[in-house]
Copies of this chain bind each other. A is one copy, B any other.
Amino acid sequence: MAFTSLSLAFLFLVASHGCLAQLGQQQRQGMQLLGLRGTEQHRLRAKTDCGLQSINAREADHRIEAEGGITEIWDPKYNVEFWCAGVAAVRHVLQPKGLLLPSYTSAPQMGIQGTVIPGCPETYESVSQSREQEMQRIRDRHQKIRRIQEGDIIALPAGVAHWAYNDGDTPLICVALVDKANDANQLDLDLRRFYLAGNPKGQQQSLGRQEQEQRRRPSHKQNGNVFRGFDEQILAEVFNVDIETARRLQGRDERRGNIVLVERELQVISPQYQEEEWEREQEREHERGLNGLEETICTLRLRENIASPTRADVYNPRGGRVSTINSHNLPILDWVQLSAERGVLYRNAIMAPLWNVNAHSIIYILRGSGRIQIVGNSGKSMFDDHVKEGQFIVVPQNFAVIKKASGDGLEWIAFKTNGNAITSQLAGRVSAIRNMPEEVLMNSYDISRDKARNLKYNRDEMTVFSPQSRSQREG
């Protein structure tokens, strides 16, 4: 499995105009007036311990095949770590010309490489000059179109419709975390996706590797097209169209699944058109960034690319780099209360042992392999094994973790259940050990002053540690 590196994906935003615009304005105006915040976050906690005895690296639990691609699902009903963290995950593989049908979910999502794109209330008037229509210059009003590039991280509030299209010539892979325990989800922990088209159930297959862990019936099976539950007569009246069109809305005879193949290239995203559009949008986003108070949900930036090495927050030429994205550099994350970290470890390098102070960390391995160790409050090992590309692994809040790259390096994205996730390191230049007085270390660990100094100062790197030969270490 490889991320298609140069394939561009164009993604279009779908939502109703007035209502969401209202949201943004109310929020901002409320803030200006009263300094209040209109939205809140919260995570579900189990009433008692959530039954976490050990942690596993996880492959997908379900696989749904459709005409234009494949959807894989990590289902919390099938694995206890996702259950405890209150999250699910989805991976879509869109074939070239694959169109993921419009839908919305009952929980916020955060994805990499354009998985899910929030609809935006901003009506976007543009001229679509398709070849066969050049003479007609038909004006098609629609919403702003956002183009996604590899490494883009995208945040998507709950209940906002979106669709995606792969206009590249290689498969497009999108991975998204669905934060079901997020306060924005008011109903229950079912993964509820509401499709606006098709008959999306497709050919589902439960992969059954973790069958012994299944606790409840999977609920995502039920996700269907909401038009289907309405009376076709009323739909025809509502849209003021004929019954046949109303039936098409309902997707009654549809067999293509949730990802369909587009016969001709979508004209509205012809490269000439998009390229200049995209430039202008980038400019606008930049301008808005300078003027945060006037942003609404529509104009809020929804993506940030942290793939580039120049974007790293921590860089160690002998070890690797770490980049973070949070509400500080992508303000919408304060609203959806998610953040992310992208890490790259070179051959045999080590990520400083640390704990997540205020968030769960849900790690997806993007490339390479390595060894991860996780320890809980019992002081016992919860996980100590190799991980590889395509696996998810959950590190619960406050659990301590060490990552070590194998010979081919290790690259990951960690989704975090807090808009400003913070970590506390156990070793290195900014660690808890470094910050304690020598005498406390001496007495806590029953060691000499020299040994205490070794503990504090022998590893002078920060966050990303280079591999050390054993001979380098002092006795």
Contact = CB atoms under 8 A, between A and B. Distances in A.
Interface stretch (A1-9, A148-156, A203-211, A244-252): A244-252
A254 B444 CA distance: 10
Given A23-B422, A377-B223, A15 B435 contact: yes
A440 B163 contact: yes
A440 B183 contact: no
A104 interface: yes
Contact of A102 (B43, B160, B432, B458): B432
Nearest to A429: B17
A439 B22 CA distance: 28
Contact of A444 (B37, B41, B198): B198
Contact of A245 (B20, B377, B455): B455
Nearest to A326: B26
Nearest to A160: B357
A82 interface: no
Given A34-B334, A436-B142, A451-B245, A230 B373 contact: yes
A349 to B, nearest CB: 11
Contact of A459 (B13, B196, B240, B468): B240
Given A188-B84, A459-B240, A46 B48 contact: no
A14 B435 contact: yes
Given A16-B423, A38-B419, A42-B183, A197 B444 contact: yes
Nearest to A324: B22
Given A190-B49, A192-B377, A106 B474 contact: no
A226 B187 contact: no
Given A38-B420, A143-B436, A454 B241 contact: yes
Interface stretch (A56-64, A262-270, A274-282): A262-270
B226 A435 contact: no
A392 interface: no
Given A142-B436, A196-B426, A423-B16, A47 B46 contact: yes
Top 3 closest A-B pairs, CB basis?
A224-B379, A229-B375, A159-B357
Interface in A421-447: 422-427, 429-440, 443-447
A311 interface: no
Interface core residue of A123, A375, A425, A432 (most chain B CB under 10 Å) = A432
A417 interface: yes
Given A16-B424, A26-B326, A157-B357, 5 more contacts: A34-B292, A142-B437, A224-B379, A229-B378, A231-B384
Contacts of A194: 355, 377, 398, 400
A238 interface: yes
Contacts of A237: 350, 467-468, 470, 473
A300 to B, nearest CB: 10
Interface in A27-51: 27, 29-50
B14 A432 contact: yes
A192 B160 contact: no
A187 B50 contact: yes
